[in-house]
Amino acid sequence: MILNNKNDALVATLGQALEPALPGRSPWTAARQRFLRNKAAVLSLALLCGITLACIVGPWLLPHAFDAADWDAMSQAPTWKNLHWFGTDESGRDLLVRSLIGGRISLMVGLLATLASVSLGIAWGATAGFMGGKVDAVMMRVVDMMYAVPYLLIAILMVTLLGRAFYLVVITITVFSWMDMARVVRGQTLSLRSREFVEAARAIGVPTRRIIFQHIVPNLMGIVVIYTTVTVPGVILTESVLSFLGLGIQEPMTSWGVLIHDGTTVMEISPWMLLFPSALLSVTLYCFNYIGDGLRDALDPKDR
């Protein structure tokens, strides 16, 4: 009887030890299940996918071109007539198509600039945190100096010297949005560089570069994913601010920031020109924020 009890205890212990390795019980699977239980995050993800799909496909399905003027429907309020569901602007251009094109540009800028800034921030922060000492001190002082530079001044200089172009908007935003990621990654790297798997890699002579990008960075993916969802809305908002100030996307191309700027000039006589682009921008930013909260709770449930 005692032997059977010992065997049962041993089986239970082995079962607990092997449980994470069973199919469907990996950490990423558990995180996905926790995320799917967050109704606000799931709804935000579905809504964001819908907005993104509409921005990509919608302009091809609608009968109006984003720069085509309908001279018989200038500054027309939203109506089913002529399929101007969001109304038109003062030049007779369909606001729905322009809002979707503007969303396509804003989302593209947000994703490209975020990808570039996150990649730069990961490389910079992981290198500084792993190397430590004087290398870390010098690299982080560069980050501090970047914080002190007013990005609007640099944006104005770049636009003045190089002109207004899509890629310049992406570069300008990237230059001034990677520092936060670098700080976050550096802090996490400082706590990982003394772990056993890093010491083992050092002991067998793995090059520093491989340790950083094959051992340190993969263990930072959780915090990187969470922070990326926070960075995207900030980048989209920055692009909107630059376009609102006339430093970003230029006519005849458009973005949400350009449309909001145009709407503020005629908001008393054509309020729909401000309402619809502002609503799309606000909903998109809220969706990213709720998705970020859901990912944080899913990937780090002890932080809730």
Instruction: Please write the tens of the pLDDT for every residue from 9-29.
Output: 433 443 443 344 444 456 677
pLDDT in the model for residue 9: 44
pLDDT in the model for residue 66: 80
The residue among 3, 267, 247 whose CA lies nearest residue 109 is 247
Determine the straight-line distance between the first and last CA of the chain, rounded to whole angstroms. 45
**Does pLDDT of 43 surpass 90?**
yes
Top-level class of domain 101-304: mainly alpha
CA-CA distance, 255 to 113, in Å (whole number)? 15
SS3 150: coil
The residue among 229, 291, 280 whose CA lies nearest residue 258 is 280
Structural domain boundaries in the chain: 101-304
The residue among 236, 215, 218, 231 whose CA lies nearest residue 118 is 231
Please give the radius of gyration of the chain, using alpha carbons only, rounded to the nearest integer: 25
Q: How far is CA 20 from the centre of its chain?
A: 31
**265 and 75 Cβ atoms separated by less than 8 Å:** no
pLDDT in the model for residue 207: 87
